[in-house]
Each structure stands twice: as C-alpha cells, then as structure tokens.
C-alpha cells in the first residue's frame, strides 16, 4: 500500500537520509542520488570520500550521468539497503576494535590468547552483534538505567539512609520503596528482604548464617553436586571446620529428586540448600515437593533463586522455602547488588558486622542507587514474566527446529519441560568446543562453553559431568536468550552455525 505521504516529501526524505549517510548536514541533489543508485563506482567513490571534503565536494558537484529512471520505491529500497549495510559495517568495525586484541593474541607468546583449535574463517556481510549469554549476566535495561541516572543526577537521596537528616530520610524512603517492590515479587513482607552486595554474598549469608548458629554441635547440611560455586565452596569450607555435608546426585536432567532429599535427612540436619534453576543447563528443581519434605521435618530450606528470580514464579511461603537469594545482574540491574529473602522468625548470624544496617544481618551503608535499580528491574521482570516466557519458548522452538536440520545429532542437556525458558545447553558432536566458541564469538555471537576444548584452556563443567554428559564426544555451548533477542538474531546464528560446523567438524 502506498503511504499517504506526498510523493515529493518521500523523495526529499531519501535525499536527506542519503546526505546523512555521507556525513553531510543537508540533503543531496536528486542527480547525486540517482547517480549513486545507477553507478556503483560513483557510489563507491562517494563512500570513500567521507573524510576527504574536497573529493566529496567535487563528486557532489559532478554526478555521473545515468539514464536510469528509478521509481520512488526503488530509491527508498536503495537508501534503506545502504543504511543497513553501513550500520552492520560500523557494528562489525566497532566489535573488531573492541575484541580484536583478544583474537589477535599469539598463543605462543601470550597466555591470555586462546590456543584452541582454529576458528572457522567465514565472512558475515550481514554482521550483527548477538548477545546470547544472559545466564552469565545481562546488560542494564533502559528503564533501570534511567532510575540510576535520576538517582545519581538528582538533588535528593544521596544522604546516608541511617542519618537523621532530610537527605538521609529521603534515601531511607527510597530504599524501603525498593524493598517493597522486591517483596511484592515474592509475596513476602518487606521486612523479610535483606539487601546484599551480590548473589554470592546472599548465598554465603544464608548458609553460614544458619550453620554458625550451630558452631558447638556442628550439624549436617544437604546440597547437590550441581550447585553454583557460591554454595559449593561454602559447604566445603563448613566441612573443614567440622560440619558434615551431603552432596546429592541429580537425575540425568540435573534435577534433585525429592526422594533423595528425604533419604539424606538426618536427625542433625540443619539446612537443605538447593538451587531453583541451574545456571548452566537451566533445569528447575521440584521446589514445592522438597519444601514440603523440609517443612514436615522442621528443616530449613534455602533456595539459590538467582537464575530463576524474574523468570519463573517464586512464592517462598507457599513453596516451603525459608531463605531465597537473588541477584541484580541476572535481571538487567547492575552488578554488585543482590539480596536474600529471610522468612519472618528466622535469625541468621551476620557475616558482616558493623552499623547494624539491614536489620542487623548485613551491615554496611546501603548501595541506594543499585537497590533502586534492583527494585525497578525486579518489578519489570515480574510484570513481563509470562509474556517473555511465551516469547522465549517461540525463540527456543525456532532455534531447535533450525538446529535439527543443521545438526540432527545434537544433544539437549536438561529437560525441555522443567527448564527456565531462556536457556538451552546443547552438545555438538565431533567438534572442538574452543573452535566452536571462538568461531561464534568472532562473528559477534556471544555464548559460553561448558565442555573442555582440546587445549584444556577451559575445563569440563562439573555440572555436565554430574549429569553424565559425554564431554569427550560433544562440545557444549550454552545459549541464553534475553529481552533484546529477536528471531532475526537466532536466524543469523543458525545461518552461520551451519557454515561453522561444516568447517570445523572433525572427521575421524
């Protein structure tokens, strides 16, 4: 359908747009635009004359003669295509500038270089940056950035929330507003939310906070083999000071079976600590069932909710959860802010002593800006949860359907049903994980690897080993979709994945 815009104004717009693409302040003449459309050499000269004003001036004054008579639509298409090409070129150049050094390092001379097998030398004329590592971290989203900007550029709120000043009480009010927002996401009371400096800190506080109440008896704790290091290392530390810990095995999907928790419980069990969703393979644990087992036996249930918070509904009270951690940088808030839900009536031994902030459990002047950002990000994530879940499942199906055609022998780790919707962990047969990771990274696709590469530069993931994955035969890549991921991004990934796999496949 033709737009209602008068024909002339459409053409003027293209002349202005074309001028902008050349770095000019105004529009070019129709003759220049037509000449560029009709004569590739003239267009090329115009593009390379961007930093040579005299040459450009000459070209603009002397457009080559063409006898083409393009339609308006052809002109629009021409300018849009040029705009797209330049955008990709610019993105690619800036990407290479930022990452170039990393790729250019010589493995023989520099230990930071990746000495894995070489990457696939493919060309990507439609280059785009596709960030698919959202389980590692997320960028701060614009709505959250604007909360931060308002806070840091505003006149009020910089005060110390513990100070008896107007500025201080204003800051305290902002913090309690954010606390309420987080509490709403967990159907909790704001008094049950404690802010910490990261998700790892929240996990440490929860586990040590309970264990240290039992320092004379040194009881027993239960966890699983696939927990995040911020849980596993704490458990190992507690073992060194006399506690005993059971590390439960999971099923082949990475799920902890409620029955195994039941069987591991002892008379002196203090705490069961399990993750809501796994950071590598996305598997969701049966929290409700495990929570019920813990409630029936009067044992505290701590949940590392860091990958699940904002992605699946979490209602600690209904699920029998007493402690639940979350982290800002997994939900588009800044890094270095996290928190812990602590059920009313449960006391923890503080891990940071000081001025008694955060109900005395976590001292230190509050990181007000990041707390506000976390509150906003949590509220947004919870409001959009269902919509995003549906969108992620569509993206996931689109990717898996495409993958079946490219590499029918791939393995999907974890189950499709019990999984956070934005994650896929895929095993690719007969390729080196370093070569695959590097090939994808080079063309702008950020993902992470879970299996070792031939050089042993990175090790096999203990999570994959725990679920019995064949890390010798399969290179594992984690794909984590995010708010900005579009079908075009996945199509780009599929298009080049096919070429990469063909080039790096090891035929034995």
Ligand X SMILES: Cc1ncc(COP(=O)(O)O)c(C=O)c1O
> Annotated catalytic sites, by residue?
453
Residue 219 or 338: which CB sits closer to ligand X?
338
By CB under 6 A, tell whether 306 contacts ligand X.
yes
User: What are 445-449's contacts with CB under 8 Å, separation 24+?
Assistant: 445/130, 445/132, 445/492, 445/493, 445/496, 446/129, 446/130, 446/131, 446/132, 446/133, 447/132, 447/133, 447/477, 447/478, 447/479, 447/480, 448/133, 448/136, 448/477, 448/478, 449/475, 449/476, 449/477, 449/478
Q: Which residues pair with 222 in a beta bridge?
A: 246, 272
Q: What is the DSSP string of 487-507?
A: HHHHHHHHHHHHHHHHHHPPP
By CB under 6 A, tell whether 228 contacts ligand X.
yes
Which residue stretch of 19-27, 156-164, 196-204, 424-432 sits at the interface with ligand X (rule: CB under 6 A)? 196-204
Which residue stretch of 165-173, 257-265, 304-312, 369-377 sits at the interface with ligand X (rule: CB under 6 A)? 304-312
Residues in the chain: 508
Q: What is the largest CA-CA distance in the chain?
A: 94
Residue 228 or 478: which CB sits closer to ligand X?
228
Here's the x/- map for ligand X, 53-82, by CB under 6 A: it reads as: ------------------------------
Reading the block at residue 52, the tokens are: 């040579």
Report in angstroms how near the CB of residue 305 gets to ligand X at its nearest.
8
Residue with tokens 């906070």: 209
Chosen residue from 258, 291, 320, 338 binding ligand X by CB under 6 A: 338
Which residue stretch of 108-116, 197-205, 283-291, 487-495 sits at the interface with ligand X (rule: CB under 6 A)? 197-205
By CB under 6 A, tell whether 323 contacts ligand X.
no
Residue 329 or 442: which CB sits closer to ligand X?
329
Other Cβ atoms within 10 Å of 58 Cβ, number: 12
Q: Which residues pair with 269 in a beta bridge?
A: 220
Residue 329 or 376: which CB sits closer to ligand X?
329
Q: Which residue is nearest to ligand X (CB)?
A: 199
Residue with tokens 């230190």: 364
Output the CA torsion sign for 80, 85, 90, 92.
positive
By CB under 6 A, tell whether 331 contacts ligand X.
no
Report in angstroms how near the CB of residue 198 gets to ligand X at its nearest.
4
Q: Rounded to the nearest 5°, which phi and psi values hold at 374?
A: -65, -40
Number of residues that bind ligand X (CB under 6 A): 14
Report in angstroms how near the CB of residue 8 gets to ligand X at its nearest.
56
The CA distance from 13 to 30, in Å, is: 11
By CB under 6 A, tell whether 204 contacts ligand X.
no
By CB under 6 A, tell whether 199 contacts ligand X.
yes
Which residues, other chains included, contact 258 with Cβ-Cβ below 8 Å and sequence gap of 6+?
A: 286, 289, 290, 293
Reading the block at residue 165, the tokens are: 């000043």
Which residue stretch of 301-309, 344-352, 452-460, 484-492 sits at the interface with ligand X (rule: CB under 6 A)? 301-309
DSSP-derived secondary structure letter, 350: -
What SS3 class is residue 39?
coil
Task: Say if residues 338 and 203 touch (Cβ distance below 8 Å).
Answer: no
Report in angstroms how near the CB of residue 87 gets to ligand X at its nearest.
32
Report in angstroms how near the CB of residue 197 gets to ligand X at its nearest.
8
Here's the x/- map for ligand X, 121-160, by CB under 6 A: it reads as: ----------------------------------------
The CA distance from 10 to 7, in Å, is: 5
By CB under 6 A, tell whether 280 contacts ligand X.
no
The CA distance from 114 to 112, in Å, is: 6
How much of the chain is in helix, strand and coil states, percent to nearest 5?
Answer: 45, 15, 40
By CB under 6 A, tell whether 304 contacts ligand X.
yes
Report in angstroms how near the CB of residue 291 gets to ligand X at its nearest.
18
Report in angstroms how near the CB of residue 354 gets to ligand X at its nearest.
20
DSSP-derived secondary structure letter, 213: G
Which residue stretch of 14-22, 300-308, 348-356, 376-384 sits at the interface with ligand X (rule: CB under 6 A)? 300-308
Report in angstroms how near the CB of residue 352 gets to ligand X at its nearest.
15
Q: Which of residues 487-506 bind ligand X (CB under 6 A)?
A: none
Which residue stretch of 13-21, 199-207, 311-319, 404-412 sits at the interface with ligand X (rule: CB under 6 A)? 199-207
For residue 382, the number of C-alpha atoms closer than 13 Å in the C-beta half-sphere is 17
Which residue stretch of 36-44, 122-130, 192-200, 295-303 sits at the interface with ligand X (rule: CB under 6 A)? 192-200
Closest listed residue to residue 442, CA positions, set 94, 84, 99, 90: 99
By CB under 6 A, tell whether 275 contacts ligand X.
yes
Residue 171 or 381: which CB sits closer to ligand X?
381
Other Cβ atoms within 10 Å of 185 Cβ, number: 23
Residue 226 or 500: which CB sits closer to ligand X?
226
Report in angstroms how near the CB of residue 276 gets to ligand X at its nearest.
8
Chosen residue from 138, 200, 433, 485 binding ligand X by CB under 6 A: 200
Closest listed residue to residue 178, CA positions, set 139, 134, 148: 148
List b or e across 459-469, with b for residues whose CB sees 16 or more CB atoms inside 10 angstroms. ebbebbebbeb
The CA distance from 375 to 333, in Å, is: 9
Interface residues with ligand X (CB under 6 A)? Answer: 198-200, 203, 228, 230, 275, 279, 304, 306-307, 327, 329, 338
């Amino acid at each position: 359908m033709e737009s209602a815009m008068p024909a002339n104004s459409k053409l003027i717009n293209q002349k202005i747009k074309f001028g902008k693409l050349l770095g000019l302040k105004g529009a070019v003449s129709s003759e220049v635009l037509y000449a560029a459309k009709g004569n590739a050499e003239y267009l090329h000269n115009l593009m390379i004359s961007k930093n040579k004003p005299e040459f450009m001036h000459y070209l603009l004054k002397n457009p080559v003669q063409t006898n083409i008579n393009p339609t308006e639509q052809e002109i629009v298409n021409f300018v849009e295509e040029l705009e797209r090409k330049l955008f990709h070129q610019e993105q690619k150049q800036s990407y290479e500038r930022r990452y170039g050094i990393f790729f250019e390092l010589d493995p023989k001379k520099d230990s930071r270089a990746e000495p894995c097998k070489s990457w696939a030398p493919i060309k990507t004329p439609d280059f785009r940056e596709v960030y698919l590592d959202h389980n590692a971290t997320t960028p701060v989203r614009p709505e959250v950035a604007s909360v931060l900007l308002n806070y840091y550029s505003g006149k009020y709120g910089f005060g110390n929330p513990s100070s008896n000043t107007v500025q201080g009480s204003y800051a305290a009010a902002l913090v309690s507003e954010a606390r309420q927002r987080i509490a709403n996401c967990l159907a909790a009371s704001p008094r049950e939310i404690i802010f910490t400096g990261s998700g790892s800190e929240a996990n440490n506080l929860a586990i040590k906070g309970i264990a240290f109440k039992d320092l004379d008896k040194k009881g027993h704790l239960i966890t699983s083999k696939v927990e995040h290091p911020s849980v596993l290392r704490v458990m190992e530390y507690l073992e060194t000071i006399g506690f005993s810990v059971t590390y439960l095995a999971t099923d082949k999907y990475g799920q902890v079976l409620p029955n195994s928790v039941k069987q591991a419980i002892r008379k002196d069990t203090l705490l069961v600590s399990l993750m809501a969703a796994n950071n590598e393979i996305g598997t969701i644990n049966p929290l409700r069932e495990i929570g019920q087992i813990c409630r029936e036996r009067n044992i505290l249930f701590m949940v590392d909710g860091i990958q699940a918070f904002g992605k699946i509904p979490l209602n600690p009270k209904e699920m029998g959860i007493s402690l639940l951690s979350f982290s800002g940088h997994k939900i588009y808030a800044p890094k270095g802010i996290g928190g812990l839900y602590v059920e009313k009536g449960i006391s923890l031994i503080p891990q940071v002593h000081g001025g008694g902030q955060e109900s005395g459990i976590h001292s230190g002047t509050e990181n007000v800006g990041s707390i506000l950002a976390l509150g906003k990000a949590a509220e947004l994530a919870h409001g959009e949860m269902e919509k995003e879940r549906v969108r992620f499942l569509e993206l996931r199906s689109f990717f898996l359907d495409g993958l079946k055609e490219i590499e029918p022998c791939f393995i999907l780790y974890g189950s499709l049903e019990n999984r956070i919707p934005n994650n896929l962990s895929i095993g690719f047969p007969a390729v080196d994980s370093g070569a695959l990771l590097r090939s994808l990274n080079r063309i702008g696709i950020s993902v992470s690897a879970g299996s070792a590469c031939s050089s042993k530069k990175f090790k096999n993931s203990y999570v994959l080993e725990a679920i019995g994955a064949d890390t010798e035969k399969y290179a594992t890549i984690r794909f984590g979709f995010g708010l900005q991921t579009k079908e075009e991004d996945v199509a780009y990934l599929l298009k080049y994945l096919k070429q990469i796999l063909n080039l790096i496949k090891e035929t034995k």
